[in-house]
DNA sequence: CGACACATGTAACACGTTACATGATTTG
DNA sequence: CAAATCATGTAACGTGTTACATGTGTCG
């Protein structure tokens, strides 16, 4: 529930209203994670239902803004989330993993073909990524996001190499 | 929708019934992805609704097994999925990324603290991972899964290093 | 004025997840 | 026989996603 918690983390900084949350969230995620505003409002409703945020009178004249502030419970949640380990040994519920694994334990030849195809796809993605990265060299958020993606693609490539080596007949 | 597609991929190999799908899926994912059987049946219903699978008479006496086979449309879907690029430039909708990014663009000091904490958590995860990996050295699936997780953790660590370097004041 | 950003919301849906209920078959 | 495995299903929920509707304020 990265959206829900992300919004809560933003509210831990200061009270905000829905539209602000959307803008801020998108700004900080380098504009690669467009958020439908509607989702923000429903998420806010759920957070309020769970007692993690509460509506407050907007300080400067409530035109038609519903401003929300985090509660104590909410702050506890955020702290717990932030100090929790990244994915805490959570297995990779990931498309690439499922694809390769299901094939690998089934038909080895098909698996090797699949791995080759995925590798070339990832390589071309990586190149496109590098170009986009240079273009956005003035935006810290975008830069970090692009780098995260690049690093992850490289990891996937390494994993594919390992799988291939492990599946090769000669052994 | 990795489960849905995973099950469909298994049916692309040969017709199976629900319980078989569950067992096979878990076996091939190294038993790190326990699947509630109920989910398999609801997923099968949705696949049937979408015309990607169809029920068939189980060849050897239908005791009370509902066997499903993949349809032509289903096969098309699987092929498209398997040949699609891993995450096709999809931005990382990931807990760690959200955590670090939201903090990084906000409070740099807090972000640096967060990064340090996450790094040590990931490092200890990595060590536990290595131990578990040796234990399961006879199970190909488990081995590949564990390796995937290790590689991914290393990638996250590298990304954290990069973020830290980028956020450090002296520059 | 018209377009665009700001601002709020509703409705519907897809997936994944868990809990729960039920029965047949095998095996110690 | 009792317990475990095999086998099928229902109900309910949470989150994320999209589409759609509505209205205000601002700026060229």
Partnered with residue B68 across adjacent β-strands are B16, B55
DSSP code of residue B54: E
Distance B24 CA to D7 C1' (A): 15
Tell the burial category of B48 from Cβ atoms under 10 Å away from its Cβ (0-12, 13-18, 19+). middle
Mean pLDDT within B11-19 = 97
Residue of A27, A103, A153, A155 to mutate, testing the B interface (most B Cβ within 10 Å of its Cβ) = A155
Looking at the complex, does the CB of residue A96 fall below 8 Å from at least one CB of chain B?
Answer: yes
Compute the nearest-CA separation of B62 from chain A (Å).
Answer: 25
Please say whether the beta carbons of B96 and B155 come within 8 A. no
Instruction: Encode chain A (171 residues) as per-residue pLDDT tens digits.
Output: 999 999 999 999 999 999 999 999 999 999 999 999 999 999 999 999 999 999 998 765 556 789 999 999 999 999 999 998 765 567 788 899 999 999 999 999 999 999 999 999 999 989 988 887 777 778 899 899 989 999 999 999 999 999 999 998 654
Mean pLDDT within B55-78 = 86
Distance B13 CA to C18 C1' (A): 29
| Sheet (strand B53-56) strand order | B16-17, B67-70, B53-56
* Residues A87-117 pLDDT 10s: 556 778 889 999 999 999 999 999 999 999 9
Instruction: pLDDT band for B11, please (50, 70, 90 cuts).
Output: very high
* Residues B105-121 pLDDT 10s: 999 999 999 999 999 99
Please say whether the beta carbons of A83 and A96 come within 8 A. no
Q: Residue B118: name the closest of B157, B68, B145 by CA.
A: B157
Compute the nearest-CA separation of B24 from chain A (Å).
Answer: 9
Please say whether the beta carbons of B99 and A9 come within 8 A. yes
A91 phi/psi in degrees, rounded to 5:
-65, 150
Partnered with residue A68 across adjacent β-strands are A16, A55
User: If you measure CA to CA, which chain A residue comes closest to B86?
Assistant: A96
* Residues A46-59 pLDDT 10s: 999 999 999 998 76
Mean pLDDT within B126-139 = 82
- Is the CB of residue A65 inside 7 Å of nucleic acid strand C? yes
State how far the Cα of B4 lies from the Cα of B46, in Å rounded to an integer. Answer: 9
- Is the CB of residue B3 inside 7 Å of nucleic acid strand C? yes
State how far the Cα of A54 lies from the Cα of A74, in Å rounded to an integer. Answer: 10
Of A25, A122, A128, the CB nearest to B86: A122
DSSP code of residue B60: S
- Is the CB of residue A43 inside 7 Å of nucleic acid strand D? yes
State how far the Cα of B7 lies from the Cα of B65, in Å rounded to an integer. Answer: 17
Q: What radius of gyration, in Å, describes the C-alpha atoms of chain B?
A: 21
Residue A136 with chain B: CB contacts under 8 Å: none
Nucleotide nearest to A93 (CA to C1'): C16
The CB density around residue B104, as the number of other CB atoms within 10 Å, is 22
């Amino acid at each position: 529930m990265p959206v829900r918690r992300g919004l809560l983390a933003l509210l831990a900084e200061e009270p905000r209203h829905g539209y602000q949350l959307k803008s801020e969230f998108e700004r900080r995620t380098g504009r690669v994670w467009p958020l439908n505003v509607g989702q923000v409002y429903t998420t806010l409703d759920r957070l309020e239902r769970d007692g993690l945020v509460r509506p407050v009178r907007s300080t400067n004249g409530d035109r038609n803004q519903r401003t929300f502030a985090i509660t104590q419970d909410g702050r506890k949640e955020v702290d717990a989330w932030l100090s929790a380990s990244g994915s805490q040994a959570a297995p990779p519920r990931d498309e690439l993993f499922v694809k390769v694994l299901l094939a690998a334990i089934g038909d080895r030849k098909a698996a090797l073909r699949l791995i080759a195809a995925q590798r070339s796809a990832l390589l071309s993605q990586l190149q496109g990524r590098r170009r986009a990265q240079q273009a956005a060299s003035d935006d810290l958020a975008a830069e970090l996001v692009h780098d995260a993606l690049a690093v992850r693609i490289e990891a996937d490539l390494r994993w594919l190499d390992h799988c291939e080596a492990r599946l090769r007949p000669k052994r």
